[in-house]
Structure 1
Amino acid sequence: MTATELDGQCSCPYGADGMFCKHCVAVGLAWLARGEPIAEPSAVPEKITDERLRGFLQARDPRWLADELLRAAQADPLLRARLEVAAGADARHAFDERNLRTRLDDVIELDDYVSYGEAYSHFGRVADVLGEVAELIGAGFADNAIELAEYAMELIEASAGAVDDSNGEVGGALALAQQIHLDACTAGGPDPVALADRLVDRALSSDYEVFLDAMPGYAEVLGEAGMTRYRQRVEAAWQALPPKQPGVYGDGRFTVTYLMERLAECQGGTDALIEILAHDVTSGYDVLRIAQKLADDHRDEEALVWIQRGLDDFGGAVHGDRLRSLGADCLLRLGRREEAARHLWANFEDSPSLADYQALHAAAGEDFPVWRERALTLLRAQPAAVERHMGVRYVQSAGRSVLVEVLLWEGDVDHAWQAAQQGGCHQDLWLRVARARAATHPADALPVLRRAAERLIEQKNRSSYQQAAELLAESEALSMRCGQSEGFQAYMVGLRAANKPKRALREELDRARLPGG
């Protein structure tokens, strides 16, 4: 600042951002009005650089330096530990982790319930302390970080029931602690056999899948001895499982089987994993997992054998459509287009949908016209929609909804409109086909938009009124296009009169500048 300049600071939001705010302007004008000269600013203290500070310290008495370091170390356990290691102490025992362990207790253990709105800041504090644990790794105290990360995981799981975890912050905190743990194990020197036991014990007891994905990340850390122990523990748990029963869950099987699968894949690849997966095949889903893994490895012929087994043994129930879709993918890669189309036709025939029609179209290639005619014949034979009024809700069957969707996807708006008129369709689809129809026949679309608006009005809430007003504004534009503006105005007069008590509706209609008010 020069002798002809003003500077200022203020605690308001603008001032906090470094701006010369209106408060500074007001004070400055008042001060200038007094006619006092602007004093030269005091000199800004020179910044001490690292190089200058190093030179200063090198010139100090060693006893003074020692006193200053000891004083700083009293407030910084990590600095104290580093100094002790430099003086010859064992790094495994130099760091006093009691303070950091207490900090983990204080921030993670909960006396009161943490609500949804408080969860983000709570876990932000947890992440801050976990960050301090992570700093130990680079400072040479990885073994301490291992213990503290495991302790933090115990605390997080124990307190999880006292947190609104709608956004998954518990899982995020555990994932961070697990990453710190793996980094610490990689940098430190944990006993591999004891580590293997802890990884398995925690995975089997955790309700939050802690260490469930330990493989292959910990394989190098564990080495031969640790991996041998890990495999012994997991295999023993797997062999102790009772025979798998179809439809039975919650018996602890998932965790043990998952650990076994990851271990097998880590040590033996695809074949070892499939051997585990094939151990207990009791459903189409079990077969699907095997076939998917084979297909992922481009072993399509083998995948097809399993797919056929799944369809034969389990009748295609539940996961039959996924088995056939996967089979079609394999067959297409093998150049067997006709067989692929038959798989996809079976899916479409079981439960027609636009997605299945599109898949059939993509697979059949030049033969699609034959499949198309079969598909449209099946869709036209579906029962027409049945609509009934229940209070303010309309209950409607699907009718010819898939046929309408298919024809719209193909760009055949006229036949889509005809199918909707003859067989009905879902309400949202009625709007889609009506809007498509409006491009050439705006008058045809008017009743559909009005009917949809009237149903929204019957829901009697502000949001539905807003949507109804938007549809009616759309109807007004169509009415103008087809020369029915007077009829629309008369319709709006009647609509407003029939719903006169609904003040919120009137407000939304007025906001949309609709006539009749």
Structure 2
Amino acid sequence: MLAPWVPVAVVEVSERSVRRRADARSFERGQAYFKAGRVRRLTVAGTTVTSIVDGTSVYRVRLEITSTGLDGRCSCPYGAEGVFCKHCVATALAWLEEGGEVGEPRPQPVTDERLREFLLGKDPTWLVEQLLAVARADPLLRARLDVAAGADVHDAYDDRALRERLEGAIEIGYFVEYGEAYSYFQGVGEALDAVAELVDAGFPDVAVTLAEYALGLLEEAADRVDDSDGGLREAIGRAEEIHLDACSAGEPDPVSLAERLVERALASDYEVFLTALPDYELVLGPAGMARYRELVEQAWNDLPPKKRNDYSTRRFVVTYLMEQLAECSGGADALIEVLARDVSSGYDVLRIAERLCADGRDDEALDWLGRGMAEFPPDSRLRSLAADCHLRAGRRAEAGELLWANFADHPVLENYIALHNAMAEQFPAWRDRAVATLREEPAASARFTPVPYARPAGRSVLVEVLLWEGDAQAAWQAAVDGGCRDELWLRVARERAVTHPADAIPVLLAAADQAIGHKNRNSYKTAAGLLTEAGVLFARCDRPDDFRSHLAALRDAHRPKRALREELDRANLP
């Protein structure tokens, strides 16, 4: 007979301890949920409290009252990460309102050793009846027992219940909004986990079939669920992972498997099995790979000649499958042969050249890059890669000309840095040329206007370059002479404030005025921060009275804006 259990003491829970358990925002929002009556189906079982909380979705909450405190789990995203969320708070407060009582703590679980001793002492007939009763409710256990009794492993498992579970988790007759998507995909994941269990339990062939069935259901349901957080792609990836594991553990017919992989990849709108190779190569074996190649090459040969800017889904999928097949079986040369068949853009050339460079074949890559630069519109990526090839060969002058062409076409900081890094000691001459080009950009005098993106950028790139080089004084002068974007004005003003605080003050005040003009709480908070910065500079200039006068005038001018006043007060501004 099993030894009696010893009760475990539980800690007393109060509203104060709940407040300590959660962060301030979670407690505040959880309290609002509780007062709004969003907690329902509150149940107490021993030291466990469960409930349903209505939020942006329906969430399941489980609280445990232990000897060390209050633990909570919730099906919301935060609760899944172990956070004592607002739904846990709401449940705890609802439980406390009903008296905060718990039942007897649950007994400690029986150890395997104690249970084994107990079972060894029981009559075999009783054990058989108990095992059969459990097996009736557990198809997986029943199948394992059937196989042990001599049934064929391929026929033993009845997958109808698991098929219905997949259908119940995945199929939907309405659109799943963003707030419900997390719970939806959580349910899908749990159903897929049940399929994965079949692999370790010795039924991989059944898992293969059900994984493919689940993939079909997921594709059918894809347009009825909000996938903003990538839950669909994650679920498809999980099903593909289970499929590969099951194929590796089982003995699928390689030819049939190859046909299903290619058929699904060509038909899928969600890239199912698109990346089957090289992962399935060992599973397919020679016969399966031969059939896979036959089907992919047939689809490849059926494609019409590629026209410029032809980026159809069908062409992309077939070409990708062919590229993976070529890489898997023939390496770089086979892949380049595939890529070279339909060269109709600079990007096509770039991919060939990148693969050649990866194999250390820079001279061949340069031949392709030269062709791409001659036949297609200017492409900075082609010039950059060609410059890298020349640099590796010690041809710095040729690299400089290519990188200069990139800068001349797009005079931005990124291209300036690329030229700087490549030319090393030869850079000063290129720098003079680049700075002269940037100084020719049209000047812009306005700054911090209500619509900042509607005005010219002035000499913003020159200011960025000078800041990157660490010359704050020259950057300030460039901004004064030619203007720049607002965020650069702030950067250069803050640099200027280190040595010339009086120069930076007007910039910070103008930026604060612009933020106030946006008329929302976040912009008022930004304005308060800018004014705080300005206040420090006024103090450094021994002008505290001027700052107070400015704030007084500002408060008077914006008297109706209560939210602005609150943010100014919160920042302790005069």
TM-score by length of 2: 0.81
Q: Are 1:265 and 2:327 an aligned pair?
A: yes
Match 1:160 to one of 215, 222, 228:
222
Q: Kindly state the Cα deviation for residue 47 of structure 1 after the two structures are TM-superposed.
A: 6.9
The equivalent residue for 1:308 is: 370
Counterpart position of 2:278: 216
Give the deviation of 1:59 after TM superposition. Answer: 4.9
For residue 205 of structure 1, what is the aligned residue in structure 2?
Answer: 267
Answering whether residue 494 of structure 2 is matched by residue 432 of structure 1, we say no
Aligned to 1:442: 501
Q: How far 1:381 sits from its partner (Å)?
A: 1.1
Superposition map of 1:253-402 within 5 A: 253-316=315-378, 320-385=379-444, 387=446, 395-402=454-461
Moved more, 256-265 or 82-91: 82-91
Deviation (angstroms), 1:411 = 1.4
Give the drift of 1:440: 0.8
Q: Is the 8 A contact 2:255 2:284 kept in 1?
A: yes
Which amino acid counterpart does residue 436 of structure 1 have in structure 2? Answer: E
> In 2, distance between residues paired with 1:21 and 1:147?
46
Q: Tell me the CA shift for residue 473 of structure 1.
A: 1.3
1:34 paired residue number: none
The residue that corresponds to 2:165 in the other structure is 103
Find the aligned partners of 2:295 and 2:13 in 1 and give their Cα distance: 62
Whether the aligned pair in 2 keeps the contact of 1:85 and 1:91 (CA below 8 Å) is: yes
Q: Does 1:508 align with 2:567?
A: yes
Query: 1:121-174: CA deviations, max 9, x gaps?
Result: 211111111111111111111100000000011111111111111101011001
TM-score between both structures, scaled by the size of structure 1? 0.89
Native 8 Å contact 2:353 2:366 kept in 1:
yes
1:261-298 CA-partner distances (Å, limit 9, x unpaired): 11111111111111101110000010111111112222
Residue in structure 1 matched with residue 195 of structure 2 by the alignment: 133
Q: SS at the partner of 1:134?
A: helix
Q: Tell me the equivalent position of 1:459.
A: 518
Give, in whole Å, the separation in 1 of the partners of 2:245 and 2:110: 36
Q: Pick from 148, 154, 158 the counterpart of residue 86 of structure 1.
A: 148
Contact 2:447 2:486 in 1 (8 A): no
Give the distance between the partners of 1:143 and 1:20, measured in 2 at CA: 47
Aligned residue number for residue 66 of structure 2: 18
Q: Deviations over 1:425-461 (max 9, x none)?
A: 0010011111111111111111111111111111111
Mapped contact 1:389–1:395 kept (Cα < 8 A): no
Q: Which runs of 5+ in 1 are unaligned?
A: 24-41
| Deviation of the 1:85 alpha carbon | 1.2
Change (3 A) 1:339 1:392: closer
1:82-121, Cα deviation, whole Å (9 max, x unpaired): 1111122111111111111111111111133222121112
Deviates more, 1:139-148 or 1:506-515: 506-515
Identity over the aligned pairs, expressed in percent? 58
Q: 1:411, 1:133 → 2: CA distance?
A: 59
Once residues 472 and 11 of structure 1 are traced to their aligned partners in structure 2, the CA distance between those partners, rounded to angstroms, is 45
Question: 1-side partners of 2:217 and 2:438: how far apart?
Answer: 58
Instruction: Please state how far the C-alpha of 1:11 moved relative to its aligned partner.
Output: 7.9
Q: Tell me if the contact between 2:450 and 2:514 (Cα under 8 Å) persists in the aligned partners.
A: no
Larger mean Cα displacement after TM superposition, 44-53 or 475-484: 44-53
SS of alignment partner, residue 471 of structure 1: helix
Cα contact 1:341–1:360 (8 A) shared by 2: yes
Q: How many residues align?
A: 489
State how far apart, in whole Å, the 2-side matches of 1:492 and 1:246 are: 61
Secondary structure in structure 1 of the residue aligned to 2:259: helix
SS in 2 for 1:365: helix
CA distance in 1, matches of 2:13, 2:512: 52
Task: Please name the residue that 1:184 is paired with.
Answer: 246
Asked whether the equivalents of residues 278 and 290 of structure 1 are also in contact (C-alpha less than 8 Å), the reply is: yes
1:151–1:57 distance in 2 versus 1, CA, 3 Å: same
**Partners of 2:231 and 2:185 in 1: CA distance:** 7
Aligned-partner Cα distance in 1 for 2:235–2:107 = 44
CA contact under 8 A between 1:388 and 1:394: conserved in structure 2? no
Report deviation, 1:302.
1.6
Q: How has the CA–CA distance of structure 1 residues 55 and 341 changed in structure 2, closer, same or farther, with 3 Å as cutoff?
A: same
Partner secondary structure for residue 252 of structure 1: helix
Larger Rg: 1
Structure-2 separation of matches of 1:149 and 1:500: 64
Structure 1 residues 446 and 9 mapped into 2: Cα distance closer, same or farther (>3 Å)?
Answer: closer
CA distance in 2, matches of 1:514, 1:457: 15
Say which is worse superposed, 385-394 or 362-371, in terms of deviation: 385-394
What is the distance in 2 between the residues matched to 1:11 and 1:361?
A: 65
Q: Deviations over 1:64-99 (max 9, x none)?
A: 333332222111111111111112211111111111
Which sits farther off after the overlay, 61-70 or 289-298?
A: 61-70
Contact kept? 1:231, 1:263, Cα under 8 Å: yes
Residue segments in structure 2 that go unaligned for 5+ positions in a row: 1-6, 22-46, 48-63, 71-91, 93-103
Query: What is the deviation of 1:405?
Result: 0.8
Q: Partner residue of 1:123?
A: 185
Q: Is the 8 A contact 2:13 2:69 kept in 1?
A: no
> Contact conserved, 2:448 with 2:511, CA < 8 A, in 1?
no
Deviation at 1:8, TM superposition (A): 4.4
Deviations 1:393-445 (A, max 9, x none): 56221211111111111111111111111111001001111111111111111
Change in CA separation of 1:141 and 1:297 when aligned onto 2, cut-off 3 Å: same
**Inter-CA distance 56–501: structure 2 relative to 1 (3 Å threshold):** closer
